[in-house]
Structure 1
């Protein structure tokens, strides 16, 4: 099945199911604001899916729980036995299910609380992070708890695993979280990245090993440091299993938004994935995976977001140097995205780990030579970790129309890529959407992804064109992006025009300092001889002030000069517009 067909699995049936579930919110009008509907619909959807999944084994679990409680069996032993009977990594030991809850309208509040308390601790964690207890109190106060449970127990909300597969349930979650997100001004992109972008990232991650995985399968680990609803990890799992049935991927992720964390953990539980690998918390200040190494890292961390909240913890870790995550340096406090990049670099498996991470343009060039941002670029480029940087089309994300880039970073560069960085301009490789979603006006279809991969795998300076799609690739030595920023002083001179020396050193003229940017590929003395000394024979460099810098001038490297229109053609265009204006004025006002 092609990536495009996979994308279409979020089809009319799945959307219809999500729409039907979301329509239950009509009962919440007045009690909740539209952007609060998700606080009811999302946790109730999760609970109903679990309820339907547990139905066949529910009686046996309740019976066993009574026996274990009588024998005072507790903790992980009790959990293990009950999970084995339930057939899932979770269970519910209460006497209630959705059907029994609505059979007793008068006792619904007390019974629902008993039902929630009957869940295993991993489900209680999800409920807590939804802040569901406060939502339930408001539902009780407004008299809508019973009718909501009734609606979720109707045929339209049947989520039995034999009716809805784990994959499709994931898509329904995705639809519901999108609806919830879009009811906020912040829109959907705050919570998840669209599948077309994720499919491109997954292809870039597996590209070097694809044939090997196809032939032999694989056992891999993957991590998303800002996982949202965990759809990136889900897509990567799907893609690997599509390449080979013998591909196994164990997923790990961390998320700071409690509701999206709850969705991610619930989603992973339903899919039978590694739900215990889903961690809540702030990746920058409270790293849940210190000491871990992963085969794959796939992530779209927040950009343009400051790290003031995490400042003390980040700075304390930076003092550990390379024993911590932030040894190379710290970016400006106003933008933390490069901290996420460093977090990923630290967690890549030595010799083979691969990361696809999205950044905006500031990671390419912000920060002067010697600044934290420049030092981070220096670290990843001089360390030969940057394999490729791909510029994506604008208007590709739900919540931003700006230029974005996928950085492919690896600790296992193949020999032919050693010492090189490939830049790929895919900004003109897209198809327009029929209907915009937030800021998302374009998509990457199969043809787009295939063309970008052709350029990536070609690893040469070349422009690829196909059916109006254009992708351009350029390959550079690592050192191409480095430069020395030198401070040029003008020496004080005596009456003969010779430099004044003090203790054998030239003395600078105050206020006459200047700087020069000299590429690492050029000899500094030769540069001075050619570009500075012919115009100022007393110029000299103060080596103590020299700094190495790195930047990736992406836009300049792919800039195409377009000659301006000639004055004659502009004049003809003005005449044509004047003629058109005359006709329009006559139509409006007649011959008056």
Structure 2
């Protein structure tokens, strides 16, 4: 007996040391990196587009279970043991109720069974069925359908098991992991894919500029919900109350719609993403919505988004020309304009082509400027997005641009109405490299851009803002009109002619000398060739 006990104790000690070593490794590498390495073991026949739902589904399961067990223990401690199997006592505290077969402890004990994939699918299905907030959110039969290797799946479960999601609520461990995985999956899927994810630095920039403190926030192409998550983070960072915002969004792709719902659920954010995944243009899920803030990264240059005679009398274009079916850029813009409240502000990303297009786009852009809606245009660095290497633009539309009169001639006291001015900023040379192929704006740069924008917004902006060559310029309506309503920043921002720093006389003399040498060398080569032929008895 003593020997058996000693062997058991040794096994327990070894298991403890093993667990400790694993946890130390996780801490050293960071949970995100360790999990990503474990998740990558599932690759092979499973595409990133598929296995992201597998991995994120498991992370959600662990998170939901930890929250459930924590609340269950709390109910027992409060003497409410008879209520521990009643969903109402969990849902009322924003905790998802889990039946025994959906709990992480149940699954981890069976991790090496051949039917573990089916057990996970059943667990996810049961959780969704029992919690209305998760309707349409969780992966559906992914694990069974993909035929995952049991050993690799068990290894991933074991790695996720080491995450203590309740250890430090302020750290938002699961949220960090989820965000990290979304970015890594977007990178893995490469150009032309990964549309579900907007780089964090761009979302941060929009949030810092439009400051969504309270009210209704809307995203018409919400992807995995990153705009909403960052809005809440912005509010918390500025000591606001996230209960003072309401979230509305829409997403076309069903799997991405699920990602968004799960992303919000993990962070305890309630939002209305519509009854289903649907096309924003053809099946608007929020027809009567008026939003205080709009944050969006809609698909770039979307072609054939409507049929020839489709949506021609849509109320969203009222007062404007119908956006061309060949490109949805201005369809997205007018959709957002129609959703803005009386004092609403929108920050969204579009391809640069929208700044100067002709035809209906020109007419719509001109009307937007004449209606005093365009407040700022910011060129984003190239290679910021994982899905395209083109340079893109951040637009800020504001339905309540402050009327500001600016003195332009102190002697005659002549003023101009600055209300219709537009701020242009060019960030193409900004940012730092990461992943050896992408660029991201640093937190300091984001703060600098936001501060510059807010300084410019002030009534006495002459004291706080100034035009800076190659960076920013505040253009008057008359200047924009003179440029035929183009919103291309380079038409307004002063760019230094670096060629003017070259001493052309010196350079031309150097080139002349080099050219003379080349001509002499060529002449010598010709003479040598002619002599060679003469030696052989041939005349040229």
- The TM-score, its normalising length taken from structure 2, stands at 0.74
When residues 566 and 340 of structure 1 are mapped into structure 2, their CA distance, relative to the original with a 3 A threshold, is: same
Post-superposition offset of 1:328: 1.3
> Match of 1:544?
none
Q: Is the 8 A contact 1:452 1:471 kept in 2?
A: no
> Match of 1:348?
340
Gapped runs of 5+ residues in structure 1? Answer: 1-11, 68-78, 210-217, 483-518, 521-548, 582-592
1:266 is aligned to 2:262: yes
* 1:412-470 Cα distance to aligned partner (Å, 9 max, x none): 1212176413232333562432x3454x23524414532553255235683348xxxx6
Post-superposition offset of 1:354: 0.8
When residues 30 and 426 of structure 1 are mapped into structure 2, their CA distance, relative to the original with a 3 A threshold, is: closer
Post-superposition offset of 1:30: 4.1
1:236 is aligned to 2:244: no
- The TM-score, its normalising length taken from structure 1, stands at 0.68
> Match of 1:281?
278
> Match of 1:495?
none
Distance 1:96 1:63 in 2: 20
1:46 is aligned to 2:51: no
Distance 1:181 1:552 in 2: 30
* 1:397-421 Cα distance to aligned partner (Å, 9 max, x none): 3333333222211111212176413
Q: Is the 8 A contact 1:21 1:157 kept in 2?
A: no
> Match of 2:99?
93
When residues 241 and 441 of structure 1 are mapped into structure 2, their CA distance, relative to the original with a 3 A threshold, is: closer
Gapped runs of 5+ residues in structure 2? Answer: 1-25, 405-416, 519-540
Distance 2:306 2:96 in 1: 34
When residues 26 and 178 of structure 1 are mapped into structure 2, their CA distance, relative to the original with a 3 A threshold, is: closer
Post-superposition offset of 1:300: 1.5
Q: Is the 8 A contact 1:385 1:413 kept in 2?
A: yes
> Match of 1:450?
448
When residues 13 and 228 of structure 1 are mapped into structure 2, their CA distance, relative to the original with a 3 A threshold, is: farther
* 1:176-197 Cα distance to aligned partner (Å, 9 max, x none): 1122222223278633222322
- Structure 1 segment 454-465 matched on structure 2, within 5 A: 454=452, 457-458=455-456, 462-464=466-468
When residues 197 and 567 of structure 1 are mapped into structure 2, their CA distance, relative to the original with a 3 A threshold, is: same
> Match of 2:182?
177
Q: Is the 8 A contact 1:193 1:300 kept in 2?
A: yes
Post-superposition offset of 1:393: 3.1
Distance 1:285 1:463 in 2: 43
> Match of 2:204?
199
Distance 1:398 1:377 in 2: 28
> Match of 2:430?
430
Post-superposition offset of 1:296: 0.8
Distance 2:394 2:451 in 1: 13
1:390 is aligned to 2:367: no
Q: Is the 8 A contact 1:326 1:343 kept in 2?
A: no
> Match of 1:358?
349
How much is the aligned-residue C-alpha RMSD, in angstroms?
Answer: 3.7
When residues 579 and 178 of structure 1 are mapped into structure 2, their CA distance, relative to the original with a 3 A threshold, is: farther
Q: Is the 8 A contact 2:208 2:450 kept in 1?
A: no
When residues 49 and 232 of structure 1 are mapped into structure 2, their CA distance, relative to the original with a 3 A threshold, is: same
Q: Is the 8 A contact 1:88 1:272 kept in 2?
A: yes
* 1:204-242 Cα distance to aligned partner (Å, 9 max, x none): 213xx9xxxxxxxx6422111222222222222222232
